[in-house]
Structure formats: structure tokens, C-alpha cells
Chains A and B, each alone.
Chain A
Amino acid sequence: MALKIVKGSIDRMFDKNLQDLVRGIRNHKEDEAKYISTCIDEIKQELKQDNIAVKANAVCKLTYLQMLGYDVSWAAFNIVEVMSSSKFTYKRIGYLAASQCFHEGTDVIMLTTNQIRKDLSSPNQYDTGVALTGLSCFVTPDLARDLANDIMTLMSHTKPYIRKKAVLIMYKVFLKYPESLRPAFPRLKEKLEDPDPGVQSAAVNVICELARRNPKNYLSLAPLFFKLMTSSTNNWVLIKIIKLFGALTPLEPRLGKKLIEPLTNLIHSTSAMSLLYECVNTVIAVLISLSSGMPNHSASIQLCVQKLRILIEDSDQNLKYLGLLAMSKILKTHPKSVQSHKDLILQCLDDKDESIRLRALDLLYGMVSKKNLMEIVKKLMLHVDKAEGTTYRDELLTKIIDICSQSNYQYITNFEWYISILVELTRLEGTRHGHLIASQMLDVAIRVKAIRAFAVAQMAMLLDNAHLLTGNMQRNGICEVLYAAAWICGEFSEHLEDPNQTLEAMLRPKVATLPGHIQAVYVQNAAKLFATVLRKHEGATDSQAAQETSQLLVERLPLFVQSANLEVQERASCILQLVKYIQKLQQKDVEVAEEVSALFAGELNPVAPKAQKKVPVPEGLDLDAWINEPPSESESEDEKPKAVFAKEETKHSRPRHTEVDEKELARRREARKQEQANNPFYIKSSPSSQKVYQDAPGVEHIPVVQIDLSVPLKVPGMPMSDQYLKLEEERRQKEKAEKKKKEKKKKREKHGKGKKHDSGPESEEDITPAHHVDIVTEEMPENALPSDDDDKDPNDPHKALDIDLDNLLSGTNCRPLADTEKLPVRTHRSEPLKSPGEDGDVESVPQEPKKRSSKEKKEKKKDKDKDRKKSKEEKKKKKKHKHDAEDEPAELPAEEPVKSEETNEVATPPTSTSAEASDLDFWLSSTPVAPTAKEVAAPAPAPAPAPETSLAAAPDSEADEPKDAEPEEKCSKHKKKKQKKEKEKEEKKEKKKKRHHHHHHHSDGGEDSVQNGTMEEEEPLPPMSNYCLLAENSYIKMVYDIQGNLQDGSQVVVSVIFENKSDSFLKSMEFNVLDSLNSKLQRPEGAGPHDGLVVPFQLPPGVSNEARFIFSVQSIVMPQKLKGTLTFIVKSEDSSTHEKLDFKLHFTCTSYLITTPCYSDAYAKLLESGDLKSSSLRLEGVNMPFHHLLARICFHHHFSVVERIDSCASMYSRSIQGHHVCLLVKTADQTVSIDAKCDEPSLLGNVLDEIKQTFSQC
């Protein structure tokens, strides 16, 4: 035995390790595959040994081979063996290998559940860490379900290293096991405020990832994220949050308004380009979400564009690229501000970097106007000639076409020019986009009637010109244009100068090398041409020429009859027989032209894509109505068919509806209209889509186009689009001159070719098109409904995560977790109590080996204990569950008081709004954080909002309601403050109602509850601000707000906004405070106790910015005041002076309180505990709605509402040092009584005094 071990270790000495394997592979470059196969054989031998070290070594080598592309799934079981080794070294190797090659299809994964669970609960944090890391790569739905609970426990692990990994992996668990989201979410949310920055960052990461896919469920977290954004210094976290806000703003425009200010500040202050860029991006998203044209946001746009310009001008290609990328987002909503940087963007077209050129191309799309289109396209054509890579050239080609054809050829003033461009593009060889050019040619020729003669001439030339036929047909996609050319020449052959010649060109033998579908078109259109030729010769007595043409066809067509392509063959033989028959008739001198032409008579009209689908439901047909009684409820959920039936089908059901009486019909119609109007997925038909010329059948309905031909139609060789540029310029010059003379009309009569007057309206840019062209709209059924198909991927894994979390978050009225939503808790088999759901789960866990079972038992018990410490909600839930099953008397008393507390006031079911949702509403309705110049200048009068803040908010609301805001009102803004206030209030109310109305259709449950609750009748909350004036002189104004530090019980953060009121530059600002024994300003290390702190920014004239200062405090039970000074240098153009400003910082007791949510059961326990001293307060004559009152207490004094029942509410807050403060607020007849309890009586007394003061100011 001993010998065997020795032998084993000697063997081991000569085993290859990873380095040897790598070295070996490098030394066998010629026969690598062979060498590796011998290595794999060795590895297989090694894996058979008992020694775990040898196995681990082998698995390590396999990981390397996996990277080289070798399938190592055959060793999956050995990998599991190595994973379960007790040594960290081997375990790590095993998990690495597993993370590289395990996936959902790997069957041994189900064997790992218990091993992983063991590792997760290992006392060694690195075992746990390695298991979490590995699991994050190969988690399956089964693993996620079985381990969700264990991972959730780890989220509260003592070590931040484990916490952050556990938090992060929860995202993967959610993806695989969506049911775990609801139970795990409260804890995840808790982790947003974890003291460890790594854990916090992980939580932000996970929530951002979740919210990105289903943003509406996470709107209620906005205030929390907002707080994080203004307090975090970690750029990674900031970027994530800012990106998240970018996703949230489209759902809630008010959020955007609130964001603009802090984001602009960040843009000004940050030095990190990545952060700057994301800020700009989100500001853009905000601006997009807000209705455009808001006067007070143009500054933000300018700021963004200006910052982006700096990025684009940077020598760093990466910044340039990103700058262009962001610019293209602005372009969509604010094209004007981007257009002013045209020079820069055109410059980027010449960049050596292809990605940058492509980005610049994207931008060009939005920069064209009638004025510059030709110029820009000319520049692009130059690039097309220069471009070496085909991908870039193809991209250019599509962009040219995109640019020209956008919004129905809006910017094209001269279609001859456009056709010439298209023809020029056909000279590109090897492009993939032949069909694109072809479809453009067809589209223009069909829809722009005036251009047909010119187009036909050009197409005839293309057909005649051999260059498209040369080269490899299969590779050369450009031959597609011949399809268009042949069709145009055939269809509009009456415009051909020499149809004979074109016919001859179309029947050349070389045509047979073209792809089949093109040949087919050739053959068909040859017949059309033939008809034209016949007709031409009919009148003249020149029967010889006609017969020659027939002969030509008879000679050439057999080539096509032999074609391998069925379509070509069929058409050719058909037409050949026809021609032969005609030939016979011709020989008898019968006039046939009329009949042959009749074959191809009639005009083809362009039909819009999806036109069929968009035929609307005719009046009176109610597709929702049941023909018979509905069979069952469930089927009514089927999606309502939306106007997908064609007219023929609808005819069948018409007679039935005539029986329905008129009234009923009208009612239904009205209801349907109402529903359509309210349904956001039902896109209302725009008036433009009704531009259909249905009443006039035939050709007449295509608007007759007047051509003002200033360009002679003789085409020498290939057209040069450049000449149009010159002509265009000349023409514009001429027109200008004409205008000056004001002889426009006369001139036209002279100029025109005897056609009708061109009396089209002048374009805004004073450019009249060379040919006033009416573009035929594509045909659409009457009242067509432009609707886009719902293109959500049903297989998207994130769909399952679209779970309403608001209810869960909102304390009292939460929808309890359903049984199915409870995470499976591992229960032992011997346990008497089991829920059915759990039962099933236990079953699915694979049986473990017997020898481990005793150990496992212990472990399970331990786990069970841990599970008990789960979040309160869940506990409660569980308890309830247990009551049902067996009644646990020990737990009962604890629960009883909660219930009584909840219900003793009123017996009615709680109708109060979802706290979280109303919190959000409240948060959003308050004014932006940064105050305006006049803020806090005067005390706020009673129920109305402070005049200053209302002024600040005024422009916003006005912009929202431009119709309501009368111009008169605007100019007398300052004089009629009071009037204004009322007006604004009304407006707000209206706005609010509107919003509700709007939301009704796509909001989730959370918002619905707002609507169904009391909020609707209640008045909107007035804007509030916590910032109060610190000091002010003629140069600078300071306002401040104090907030407790969440993470440190002895710190408060003072946020001071400095605003430069002067016309000079303020710099070298130094902030200093005279410390007291109790409160000290935190200074950097090394600074003396009397040194000032440098404010980290300078202030240009009129700019404000915010700085934060941290103070450490010892006792928080008393308010106190600190004296301080701000010194700064005022720098004007010629001089600079030192200035100073004294101030007094007032630390109220309120500022030591932190808004902390509290669940009602915990609240009840707290009150029961008897540790709290009570005190009370009565306020008389408070004349404001109760919810305003609560909002004020919440906002100004950092409380949160625990529960509200009618005119009574319990509130909670916590001090930074952990004192609990509980309030019971009741109101009746303008009297408010506040009963308060706190474990620190003097703190409570001071807080109550401050509350009193707040309301005495009102």
C-alpha cells in the first residue's frame, strides 16, 4: 500500500502540468493536433486515478484545451469530482473548468446542487466566493430554484466580499427563476444602502439591469436612486444610475425635469469623461422625453451640443466616436442645434477611421435641407469614388439613397439630378445594393410622373450600355438595376425616342447570362416595346419596319425559350407564339397594333407596403361584438383583431349588422372610438394617410405634374450629376434676381413650355424646386390605420421579470407573496409541516449519497435557522401559513397587537394610497433641488406654494400647456403674482388630471392604485424645498440643506449651493467654520483645526453649483448654531478683490433625522416595547389638506408614513444615532394633534418644536 502511494507520487512527478502542456504544444507546431490527441489520452489516464491532485491537474489542462476549441464535455463528471474536493486549490480549478464548459444541457449539473450548497455555506469565504463565481456562469433554472434561498441568505453575510457576489448573482437567479424576484426584492433594495461601496455598486448594477428591461416597475425607486446620485462619489455607480435614469425618464417626464439640474451640475464639475458622456446622454434622453421647444431647456441642449463638440474635436478617436453617437440622438428631436455644427460633421467624413465616418454619415441624414442636399450628396459621391473597402462604400451608397429618399423625397428639388445620381451609382462594381438602386429607380419613375421621359431615356441608355453586363453576374449585385431599367423602358415605352434600338438591346444574346428573374422582365418588356413599335409604325405606311421588328423577335426569343429558368421559358414561349401569330396577321396587312397594345394597357399604381393589412374596419362593424353568446370568460382575453381584414371579408358580416338598431350601433361606435382613443397601442390614423384618390378611378387621379423644363433633354453619353449642381445654382441665382424684380409670373409664362402655371407654395427656405413635382402617394385603403406590428420577442427572458414590485414595497397594503412565490425552503423529510409547494421542490432535489446524509441533516437544520431570520414580510407570510396548518400559539401574541393597532381606529378596509407610489408622486411634484435666485427670500404664506418657487415652476407648467397660457398672462407675470398663483394651481390640477387620464392605459398597478385611491380628489402638493438661506451679499448667495449621513452615525452632510450673483468671476472660495465642542467640520488630514476648506469649483457669472461639507457631531439631542465665513476672490476684467461673507449654520434636530421606512408590525412592536417616552403637541388653525400636512412633515422633517387611515397617520423616523421617533398625527377641524414617542425626550421636544415652527410659518 505504502509502495503504491510512493509510486503514485513518483508518477505524479512526471505528469505534465499546465505549463508543460503549453510548452509542448508550442514545440509541436507542425503536428499540433496529433500532440494534443496524445495529451488528451494522457489526461484520460490521469482522470482515472484516485489521487485528486492528479485529477485536478488534468482538469486544469482540459480547461486550456477547451480554450483551443476542444470539446471537453466528456470529462464533466471528473470536473464535478474536482469541484467537490475539500482543498481550495482543487476546488477553484474545478469551478473554473465548470464555468468554462457547463451549460444548461450538461446533465451532471444536477449532481452539483448539494455540493454548491455546501460550498455556499462554507466557513471559508473563498470557498463561498469561488462557488458563487462558478455558479454565475452555469446557473440553470433548477439550480436557481434550489439555491435561491441560500443565496438570499448570503446577501446579508458579514463579509462584504460575499455580500457583493451574492447580490450580483441574484440577477442570474432572477433570469432563470423569475419567481424569486418578488421575495428577494426588498432585501436587494436594502443593499442599495449597504455600507460597503462594493455591495452598493453590485446592487445598483443588478437593479439597473432589471430596470433596463422593465423600467416602469422601478419608477418608484427613482427617489432612492436620486439620493444615491447626489451622494455617491463612485463613478461606476454614478454611470449606472445615470444610465438608468435615461431609461426611466421616457416614462415620467416630471422625473426628467428634476434631473436636469443635478445632471448639468455634474457635467460642469466632473473631470471623468465617461461620466460626462453619460450625463450628456441622459440629459438628451430627458430632453427627448420632455416636449420639445421648452424655452428654459434650450440652454441644456446648447450645453450638451457644446460639450459634444468638444468631444468630437478631441484628438482621441474614442471621444470623437462617442460624441458623434450622442449627437445623432439629439438630432432626432433638436435637428436645428446639430445643424449648426455641420462643418464639424462634414470634417469627420474625411476621418481616417471608418467607424467615425460611419457615425458622421448617420448624422448627415438629419442635416440635409433642400438647400444643401445636392452639395452634401456631391461630397458623398466623391467619397464613394475614393472609398477602398466595399463595406464602407456600400454604406455610403445606402446613406445617399436614404438621405435623398427620406420623408417622401422631401428635400429633392430636381429629380433629374436624382436619377443621374442613381445612374452614376450603377458604375460601382461589386456592391451588394443593386436592388436598392433598382427599387429607387422604379419608385421615382412610377411616382414622379414628370420625370418619366427623362428616366426612360436614361434607362434606355443603361440597357444599351454594356458595362453592367460585364463581369461575374452572380457576384455583381449591380445588374439588379437592369431589372428596373428594363421594366421602366417597357412600361413607359411611349416616352422612348427610339424603341427599336432599345428592343434590340434587350434581346442581345448576352442578356441570357443575367439572373433568371431579370431575364423574365426583359422578355415581358420586350413584348411591351414591341407593342409600342407596332403602334408607331401603324399610322405610317411603313409596314416593312414593323415586320422587321417581328422578325427580330422571332429570331431572338428562342434563346429565352431554352432558358433553364421556368419563368423565362414560359414567358418567352408565350410571347414567341404571340409574335408569330402577329407576324402572320401582318403579312395579311391586318392592323394589329391596337389589340397588342391593349395587352398592356392601364396604369400601375404604387401600393404602400402592408396596405392590405391596414384596411380599416368599416363603420358599423364591431369586431368585438359576439355573434353568439361567449362560450366562457377566459376567451375574452384574446387579443382584439385590429383591422386586419380585407374588405371582401367584411362584406359577409354586413347584413347581420343591419338588424342591430341604430341607437345601439351608435353607442357601440362611440365606445369603440373611446377605447381606441385611450388605447396607446392603437395608433390613430393621421390625416395624411387619408390622402387617397379613391373617388377618381383610373389614371386621372394621379395628380398631373407640371414640368418646368429648364434643362434640355438631350443626354450626351453618361449624365453627370455635377452639371445639375451648377444649373441649380444658376437657377437659384436667377430666381433671386427674378424675385427682386417681382416679375415672377411673367417670367414663368415666357419660360415654361406652354404648360400650366407652376403655382406651388414657396418653401421656407425660398427654394423653389426646379420642377414642381407632386409625388404620388402610395396607395392606401381609405382611412388606413398606420400601425406597427408589435415586435416584442416572446422569447425574451426578461419578459418573465416584468413583475410589479411597487405593491411589494409599499409596506402595509402590499400584495402578499403568493404561495407560489415563496422561495423553496429546504425542509427535512422528517419535519411534520410541509407546504405542498415545498414538497414538490424537495422531490426534485436529487438524492444525495447516503454517507453524507447525517452531516447534511445538521447542515439543513442550520440553514433552517438562518431562514427564520428572513425579511419580516416573508416571516409574517410564513407565519400565516403556519397558522393555517397548525396554529403556533407562541407566535400569536406578538402578532395580535399589530392587528389591533392597525384596525382600532377605523374598521373600514384601508383605502389609503400605496405609500411608495404616492411618495414618488410627492417626490416628483416638489421643485427641483436647486433654488432660484429669489428663493427663501420671503417666508411662505399659508396653503399656497411659496411665490418664488411657484415662479420657478411656472415656465415648466406653461410649456406643458401652451394653449392655456395666455400671452397676456405672460407679460404681466411679475405684477400679478397672486393671480398667477391661482392660475398655475389650476393648470397644475388640469395637468394632473390629464396625466392620470393618460396613464390609465399603460400604467402598471402601482400607478393605478394612485388613481383609485385618494389622490385623485386631493389637491396637488405644493412644491417644497428644504434649502434655506445661509447668507447673501451682492456677489454671492448661499443656500444650504443638512442631511444625516446614512453610513456614519456621527456625521451630517451640509450641502451648500453657491450662486454667483455678480458679473465677475468668483474663485478661490474657502469655506470655514468655527468648530464647537460638539460639532466639527471635517477637514482633510494634515489640515489644522482652523483651516478653511477649499470649495472645489469656481463660479462664472450667473452660475450656481453645489458643494458638500461633512460635519462630525457628538450629541444630536440639541439644535445648535455654528458661525462661519466664506472668503473668495472676485475677479473682473481689470481687477480682483478679496471678499468675505459671514454666516451662521443652523443645525436643527430635524437634520439629524433620516427618512427610514418602517413596516407597521415593527412599528407596533416598537410602541409596545415601552422604551419610548411620549410627548404631544397641538396645532391650531392649520388650514391645509391632511395629505399636505403629512407631506410637509415627511419632506421637512424626514419622516415616512407608516400607515394612514383617513385623517390619522402614524409616522416614523430615525436619527443618525439610532433614536426612534414615532408620531401619531390626527386632524379634526383645523386642529392637528401630534402624539410623539421617542427614546430620547430632549430630542423629541426639539423636533416637535421644529415641527411647530414649520406650521406656524405657513
Chain B
Amino acid sequence: MIKAILIFNNHGKPRLIRFYQYFAEDMQQQIIRETFHLVSKRDDNVCNFLEGGSLIGGSDYKLIYRHYATLYFVFCVDSSESELGILDLIQVSVIIVNVCFHVQVFVETLDKCFENVCELDLIFHMDKVHYILQEVVMGGMVLETNMNEIVAQVELQNRMEKSEGGLSAAPARAVSAVKNMNLPEIPRNINIGDINIKVPSLSPF
């Protein structure tokens, strides 16, 4: 069972949290802080497993994490999960997030070049990332690991949302485009492995 999925940046700011067991909000924040504290002081060249923190889990639980350029992906899992399997799952999730946000065509070649994740995607589209994650993990159990299947399901749902006009229908979108112009420049360089891609718009959604 997966007990929690936490994504936060290098400063410990939460970008996405998903607990599969109830914790009150302040407790959740404490857990994030503790986890960040544990994970952030580790070098990048040490192993990705940590015997659990004191707040979440206990002896049976492990923290399994991956560190991308600016983000930490942390899964808190118990002994029924395969450690290496979860590491792969994090990688798969990241690739899927990238696929869904940036390129929808060449899924096959993605494994190589989409090994990093753009923090901005998560900052501004937390909800979308949640929807993606829901297709991977459900109620603390791994639902699907086939990348193509997950992407297909996410796409179908997004298409359905589009056909309904989306949440921020046309007028609102125009307004936010206007608002955008007055804002300070947001860094749009996305570090994807060795390749830097300028992404024209923040979201293809």
C-alpha cells in the first residue's frame, strides 16, 4: 500500500500532496516538513530509500523518493510494495506528466528525453496532475502501470472536459491572457535532461 504521495520543491514548498490515510491539515504540513527535512539533506548520489519518518508510517513504512532538478517526488509505502517497482513508478508518472503537458505525439521516444519534470506544470496545474496521478494510483494501490493506457485514459477525459467547454471557458481565458501581460516574466526554460526546450505556452490544456 502507498500511504502518501508528496511532491515538493527544493525549498520544501508542497506542489502536490495526496494522503491515502486521513491526517488533519496541520499534521499534513508537519509530515511534509519532516519528510522534506529527511530527504533534502541527502546527496543525490545516495540511495533513494529512507526508513520512514516518525510522523508517518513507522517501522513498516519506507520513503522512496526521486529528486529531479527542482522537485522531490516522495512515496511513502509499506513493505508490500517493491522498492524498485515504486522507483520505476515515479519515473513513469513523471514521464506521463510530461507527455500530457507537452507532447502528445511521440510517446515511444519519450523514455529517453523526458526524464525531468517542469515545476511550473505542477505549480499552475496541480489539479491536472492530480487527475493524471489518479489513473496511476488509486486509494493507495497501484492501478495501472502501462504508460500508453494511462495517457490514453487521461487524454480521453481531457477531451471530454474540452467538449464541455472546460472550467475556464473562452471569456475567462481571454481575460487571463490579458492579465498575463502585466505580470513579471515567468521563467519558461524547462530542463529536460540535456535538452532545453522553449515551451510556447504554459499549458496545452
Please report A residues at the B interface, Cβ cutoff 8 Å.
9, 12-15, 17-20, 22-23, 26-27, 53, 56-57, 60, 63-64, 66-71, 87-90, 92-93, 96, 100, 103-104, 126, 132-133, 136-137, 161, 164-165, 168-169, 171-172, 197-198, 201-202, 205-206, 208-209, 212, 234-236, 239, 243, 273-274, 277-278, 317-318, 320-322, 352-356
Q: Complex formed: what's the CA distance from A26 to B51 in Å?
A: 34
Interface 9-mer from B68-76, B100-108, B152-160, B191-199: B152-160
Residue of A nearest to B46 (CB): A353
Q: B126: CB under 8 A from chain A?
A: yes
Q: Complex formed: what's the CA distance from A273 to B88 in Å?
A: 11
Query: Could you say which residues of chain A place their CB within 8 Å of the CB of B183?
Result: 23, 27
Instruction: Please tell me if the beta carbons of B161 and A57 are within 8 angstroms of each other in the complex.
Output: no
Q: Complex formed: what's the CA distance from A60 to B128 in Å?
A: 11
Instruction: Please tell me if the beta carbons of A18 and B171 are within 8 angstroms of each other in the complex.
Output: no
Instruction: Please tell me if the beta carbons of A355 and B138 are within 8 angstroms of each other in the complex.
Output: no
Q: Complex formed: what's the CA distance from A69 to B25 in Å?
A: 5
Instruction: Please tell me if the beta carbons of A17 and B167 are within 8 angstroms of each other in the complex.
Output: yes
Query: Could you say which residues of chain A place their CB within 8 Å of the CB of B20?
Result: 137
Query: Could you say which residues of chain B place their CB within 8 Å of the CB of A89?
Result: 160-161, 164-167
User: A66, A137, A234, A356 — which one has the most chain B CB atoms within 10 A of its CB?
Assistant: A137
Query: Could you say which residues of chain A place their CB within 8 Å of the CB of B123?
Result: 22, 26
Query: Could you say which residues of chain A place their CB within 8 Å of the CB of B134?
Result: 96, 133
User: A209-B80, A239-B85, A353-B47 known; A136 and B176 CB under 8 Å?
Assistant: no
Q: Complex formed: what's the CA distance from A353 to B51 in Å?
A: 13
Interchain CB contact (< 8 A) of B144 among A164, A209, A277, A354: A164
User: A18-B124, A53-B169 known; A68 and B14 CB under 8 Å?
Assistant: yes
Residue of B nearest to A202 (CB): B143
3 smallest CB-CB distances across A and B, nearest first, come from A136-B139, A274-B84, A317-B47
Instruction: Please tell me if the beta carbons of A356 and B82 are within 8 angstroms of each other in the complex.
Output: no
Interchain CB contact (< 8 A) of A12 among B141, B153, B171: B171
User: A69-B28, A137-B20 known; A17 and B51 CB under 8 Å?
Assistant: no
Interchain CB contact (< 8 A) of A318 among B87, B156, B168: B87
Query: Could you say which residues of chain A place their CB within 8 Å of the CB of B16?
Result: 67
Q: Complex formed: what's the CA distance from A54 to B138 in Å?
A: 28
Instruction: Please tell me if the beta carbons of B25 and A96 are within 8 angstroms of each other in the complex.
Output: no
Instruction: Please tell me if the beta carbons of B139 and A169 are within 8 angstroms of each other in the complex.
Output: yes
Q: Complex formed: what's the CA distance from A88 to B29 in Å?
A: 31
Residue of B nearest to A273 (CB): B84
Q: 30 A–B contact pairs at CB < 8 A?
A: A12-B172, A13-B174, A17-B167, A18-B124, A18-B125, A23-B183, A53-B169, A68-B14, A89-B160, A89-B164, A89-B165, A89-B166, A92-B161, A93-B127, A96-B127, A100-B18, A126-B160, A164-B144, A171-B139, A205-B141, A239-B82, A274-B85, A317-B47, A318-B48, A318-B84, A318-B87, A322-B84, A352-B43, A355-B51, A356-B46
Residue of A nearest to B15 (CB): A67
Interchain CB contact (< 8 A) of B49 among A19, A63, A103, A318: A318
Is the contact region of chain B dominated by helix, strand, or loop, or is it mixed? mixed
Q: B149: CB under 8 A from chain A?
A: yes
User: A56-B167, A63-B126, A202-B143 known; A20 and B176 CB under 8 Å?
Assistant: yes
Instruction: Please tell me if the beta carbons of B139 and A172 are within 8 angstroms of each other in the complex.
Output: yes
Q: Complex formed: what's the CA distance from A209 to B18 in Å?
A: 20
Instruction: Please tell me if the beta carbons of B80 and A212 are within 8 angstroms of each other in the complex.
Output: yes
User: A18, A56, A169, A277 — which one has the most chain B CB atoms within 10 A of its CB?
Assistant: A18
Interchain CB contact (< 8 A) of A356 among B28, B47, B51, B156: B47
CB under 8 Å from chain A, chain B span 99-141: 123-127, 130-131, 134, 138-141
Residue of B nearest to A237 (CB): B145
Q: Complex formed: what's the CA distance from A322 to B48 in Å?
A: 11
Interchain CB contact (< 8 A) of A96 among B130, B140, B146, B164: B130
Residue of B nearest to A61 (CB): B127
How many whole Å from B57's CB to the nearest CB in chain A? 15
CB under 8 Å from chain A, chain B span 163-191: 164-169, 171-172, 174-176, 179, 183-184
Instruction: Please tell me if the beta carbons of B127 and A18 are within 8 angstroms of each other in the complex.
Output: yes
Q: Complex formed: what's the CA distance from A274 to B88 in Å?
A: 9
Instruction: Please tell me if the beta carbons of B46 and A352 are within 8 angstroms of each other in the complex.
Output: yes
Query: Could you say which residues of chain B place their CB within 8 Å of the CB of A317?
Result: 45-48
Query: Could you say which residues of chain A place their CB within 8 Å of the CB of B142?
Result: 201, 205, 236
Instruction: Please tell me if the beta carbons of B124 and A66 are within 8 angstroms of each other in the complex.
Output: no
Instruction: Please tell me if the beta carbons of A355 and B168 are within 8 angstroms of each other in the complex.
Output: no
Q: Complex formed: what's the CA distance from A485 to B160 in Å?
A: 76
Instruction: Please tell me if the beta carbons of A88 and B124 are within 8 angstroms of each other in the complex.
Output: no
How many whole Å from A67's CB to the nearest CB in chain B? 5
CB under 8 Å from chain A, chain B span 43-65: 43, 45-51
How many whole Å from B77's CB to the nearest CB in chain A? 12
User: A67-B14, A169-B139 known; A22 and B25 CB under 8 Å?
Assistant: no
How many whole Å from B198's CB to the nearest CB in chain A? 20
Instruction: Please tell me if the beta carbons of A321 and B47 are within 8 angstroms of each other in the complex.
Output: yes
Instruction: Please tell me if the beta carbons of A17 and B176 are within 8 angstroms of each other in the complex.
Output: yes
Q: Complex formed: what's the CA distance from A320 to B17 in Å?
A: 30
User: A13-B171, A320-B47, A353-B46 known; A206 and B156 CB under 8 Å?
Assistant: no
Q: Complex formed: what's the CA distance from A53 to B161 in Å?
A: 13
Q: Complex formed: what's the CA distance from A12 to B160 in Å?
A: 22
Residue of B nearest to A57 (CB): B167
Query: Could you say which residues of chain B place their CB within 8 Å of the CB of A57?
Result: 167-168
Q: B1: CB under 8 A from chain A?
A: yes
Query: Could you say which residues of chain B place their CB within 8 Å of the CB of A278?
Result: 82
Instruction: Please tell me if the beta carbons of A355 and B47 are within 8 angstroms of each other in the complex.
Output: yes
Query: Could you say which residues of chain B place their CB within 8 Å of the CB of A27?
Result: 183-184
Interchain CB contact (< 8 A) of B167 among A60, A67, A198: A60
Q: Complex formed: what's the CA distance from A133 to B48 in Å?
A: 29
Query: Could you say which residues of chain B place their CB within 8 Å of the CB of A209?
Result: 1, 80, 141
Instruction: Please tell me if the beta carbons of B46 and A354 are within 8 angstroms of each other in the complex.
Output: yes
Query: Could you say which residues of chain B place their CB within 8 Å of the CB of A93?
Result: 127, 167
How many whole Å from B142's CB to the nearest CB in chain A? 7
User: A89-B167, A274-B82 known; A19 and B176 CB under 8 Å?
Assistant: yes
User: B126, B143, B174, B184 — which one has the most chain A CB atoms within 10 A of its CB?
Assistant: B143
How many whole Å from B76's CB to the nearest CB in chain A? 15
Q: Complex formed: what's the CA distance from A202 to B169 in Å?
A: 37
Residue of B nearest to A243 (CB): B80
Query: Could you say which residues of chain B place their CB within 8 Å of the CB of A243?
Result: 80, 82
Query: Could you say which residues of chain B place their CB within 8 Å of the CB of A353?
Result: 43, 45-47
Query: Could you say which residues of chain A place their CB within 8 Å of the CB of B45?
Result: 317, 352-353
Instruction: Please tell me if the beta carbons of B84 and A277 are within 8 angstroms of each other in the complex.
Output: yes
Query: Could you say which residues of chain A place their CB within 8 Å of the CB of B87?
Result: 318
Instruction: Please tell me if the beta carbons of A20 and B179 are within 8 angstroms of each other in the complex.
Output: yes
How many whole Å from B167's CB to the nearest CB in chain A? 6
Query: Could you say which residues of chain B place their CB within 8 Å of the CB of A168?
Result: 138-139, 141, 143
Query: Could you say which residues of chain B place their CB within 8 Å of the CB of A205?
Result: 141-142
User: A69, A90, A243 — which one has the most chain B CB atoms within 10 A of its CB?
Assistant: A69
How many whole Å from A140's CB to the nearest CB in chain B? 11
Query: Could you say which residues of chain B place their CB within 8 Å of the CB of A66?
Result: 25
How many whole Å from B86's CB to the nearest CB in chain A? 9
Query: Could you say which residues of chain A place their CB within 8 Å of the CB of B83?
Result: 274, 277, 318, 322
Instruction: Please tell me if the beta carbons of B22 and A104 are within 8 angstroms of each other in the complex.
Output: yes
Query: Could you say which residues of chain B place their CB within 8 Å of the CB of A274?
Result: 82-85, 88
Q: Complex formed: what's the CA distance from A320 to B49 in Å?
A: 11
Query: Could you say which residues of chain A place their CB within 8 Å of the CB of B14?
Result: 67-68
Residue of B nearest to A315 (CB): B45
How many whole Å from A485's CB to the nearest CB in chain B? 32
Query: Could you say which residues of chain A place their CB within 8 Å of the CB of B167?
Result: 17, 53, 56-57, 60, 89-90, 93
Query: Could you say which residues of chain B place their CB within 8 Å of the CB of A161?
Result: 153
Q: Complex formed: what's the CA distance from A394 to B135 in Å?
A: 43
Instruction: Please tell me if the beta carbons of A9 and B171 are within 8 angstroms of each other in the complex.
Output: yes
Instruction: Please tell me if the beta carbons of A71 and B25 are within 8 angstroms of each other in the complex.
Output: yes
Query: Could you say which residues of chain B place their CB within 8 Å of the CB of A354?
Result: 46
How many whole Å from B82's CB to the nearest CB in chain A? 5
Q: Complex formed: what's the CA distance from A92 to B142 in Å?
A: 20
Q: Complex formed: what's the CA distance from A133 to B132 in Å?
A: 12
Instruction: Please tell me if the beta carbons of B82 and A277 are within 8 angstroms of each other in the complex.
Output: yes
